[in-house]
């Protein structure tokens, strides 16, 4: 086990590289609970909790909770987009707005109190044309911080091609901007096949097994798969989330595993985005991979302790980071 490094603090203002998060398919997140989910009947829910949602937005929100700084580039449209933008303004989150080709989507999370299970309903969002994609790419590159980090996180809107991360990776090279990609499905497969060497690529264990074409039952299996992707030039760092078994990261220097410490599970919504926020913040501060993945794991674990879309609480992140367990593989 790697003991916590002395002098490394999870929270508090610290020097960091600039970070831009990108959310092309944001959502107005509504979360409520009900005694029991049953078919046919009118299900009268409690008053909803309403939050701005979408991968990059959640990354920026969680970074702010850890006293990190970022700008959020977001595609917004219609009345729902205006409402979401108002919520972001109230949260004092710096936003760069890109016009979406239609009304911003909504998503709904319902907790069944009788079982503790969460039901999540996610709408697709407006359909994009190629001209919309080109406009968004220009906006991202124009806003990308030189020698900083761009985080591309969350699902693509309908119509956005799977090779978007590859386009951005190429266009960001002149600015020496590191691209962190947290995606799934066809975009993940496109990045894995192209070997464009993005800075960071994150996926979950099921996605890793799909790319590997085999089961990855142990941490060492996952580490070998991730290290193979690094050696093949897919990414400089590859992260695989193994659910309750923590997170594995492979870099050119080695592989590490960060434990998920046992905590009461309230909601898993936003845990992955909180991980990306913590890891990105650690890297932006110039930490090594082991400490950065430790902060990511701490933020993710803190997020599952909170209801609905609340994300991680600073005091939980601080405590969990102090107790982190990161092991070389």
Closest among 249, 261, 263, 267 to 308, alpha carbons compared: 267
Q: Which helix (H) or strand (E) holds 97?
A: strand 95-99
Instruction: For the beta carbon of residue 262, count every other beta carbon within 10 angstroms.
Output: 8
Total count of residues recorded for the chain:
329
CA distance 90 to 168: 30
| Domains (range + CATH), the chain | 19-34+46-328 (3.40.1190.20)
Q: What percent of the chain has pLDDT over 90?
A: 84
Choosing from 182, 205, 273, 291, which is the catalytic residue?
273
pLDDT at 94: 94
Determine the pLDDT at residue 189.
94
Tens digit of pLDDT for each residue in 45-75? 999 989 999 999 999 999 999 999 999 999 9
33 vs 196: which has the higher pLDDT: 33
Q: What is the structure's pLDDT at 309?
A: 74
The answer for residues whose C-beta is within 8 angstroms of residue 53's C-beta and 6 or more apart is: 26, 27, 28, 29, 107, 309
Mean pLDDT of 287-312: 92
273 is catalytic: yes
pTM greater than 0.85 (yes/no): yes
Q: What is the mean pLDDT of the chain?
A: 93
pLDDT tens sequence across 236-280: 999 999 999 999 999 999 999 999 999 988 888 889 999 999 999
- Res. 3 pLDDT band, cuts 50 70 90: very low
Alpha helices, DSSP H only, in 125-270?
130-143, 164-172, 185-194, 205-212, 219-231
The answer on pLDDT for 11 being more than 90 is no
Res. 76: pLDDT tops 80: yes
Region of poorest pLDDT, from 26-30, 234-238, 305-309, 321-325: 305-309
Q: Is 27 helix (H, G, I), strand (E, B) or coil?
A: strand
Using pLDDT thresholds of 50, 70 and 90, give the confidence band for residue 7. low
Identify the DSSP state of 45.
P
Tally of CB atoms within 10 A around 74: 27
Residue 99 to residues 25, 69, 75, 131, 132, Cα–Cα distance (Å) = 11, 24, 5, 12, 9
């Amino acid at each position: 086990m790697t003991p916590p490094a002395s002098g490394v603090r999870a929270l508090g203002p610290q020097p960091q590289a600039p970070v831009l998060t990108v959310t092309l398919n944001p959502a107005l997140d509504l979360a409520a609970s009900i005694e029991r989910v049953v078919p046919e009947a009118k299900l009268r829910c409690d008053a909803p909790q309403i939050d701005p949602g979408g991968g990059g937005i959640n990354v920026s929100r969680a970074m702010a909770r850890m006293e990190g700084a970022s700008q959020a580039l977001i595609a917004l449209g219609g009345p729902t987009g205006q409402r979401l933008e108002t919520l972001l303004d109230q949260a004092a989150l710096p936003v760069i707005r890109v016009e979406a080709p239609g009304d911003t989507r909504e998503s709904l999370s319902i907790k069944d109190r009788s079982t503790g299970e969460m039901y999540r309903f996610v709408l697709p969002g407006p359909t994009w044309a190629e001209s919309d994609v080109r406009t968004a790419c220009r906006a991202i590159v124009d806003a990308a911080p030189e020698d900083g980090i761009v985080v591309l996180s969350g699902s693509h809107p309908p119509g956005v091609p799977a090779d978007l991360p590859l386009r951005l990776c190429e266009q960001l090279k002149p600015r020496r901007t590191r691209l962190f990609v947290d995606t799934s499905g066809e975009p993940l497969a496109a990045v894995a096949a192209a070997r464009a060497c993005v800075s960071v690529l994150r996926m979950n264990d099921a996605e890793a097994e799909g790319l590997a074409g085999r089961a990855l039952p142990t941490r060492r299996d996952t580490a070998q798969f991730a290290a193979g992707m690094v050696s093949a030039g897919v990414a400089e760092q590859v992260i695989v989330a193994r659910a309750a078994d923590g997170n594995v990261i492979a870099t050119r220097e080695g592989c590490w595993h960060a434990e998920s410490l046992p905590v009461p599970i309230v909601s898993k919504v936003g845990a992955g985005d909180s991980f990306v926020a913590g890891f990105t913040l650690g890297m932006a501060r110039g930490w090594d991979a082991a400490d950065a993945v430790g902060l990511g794991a701490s933020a993710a674990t803190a997020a599952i302790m909170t209801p609905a879309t609340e994300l991680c609480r600073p005091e939980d992140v601080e405590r969990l980071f102090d107790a982190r367990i990161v092991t070389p593989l």
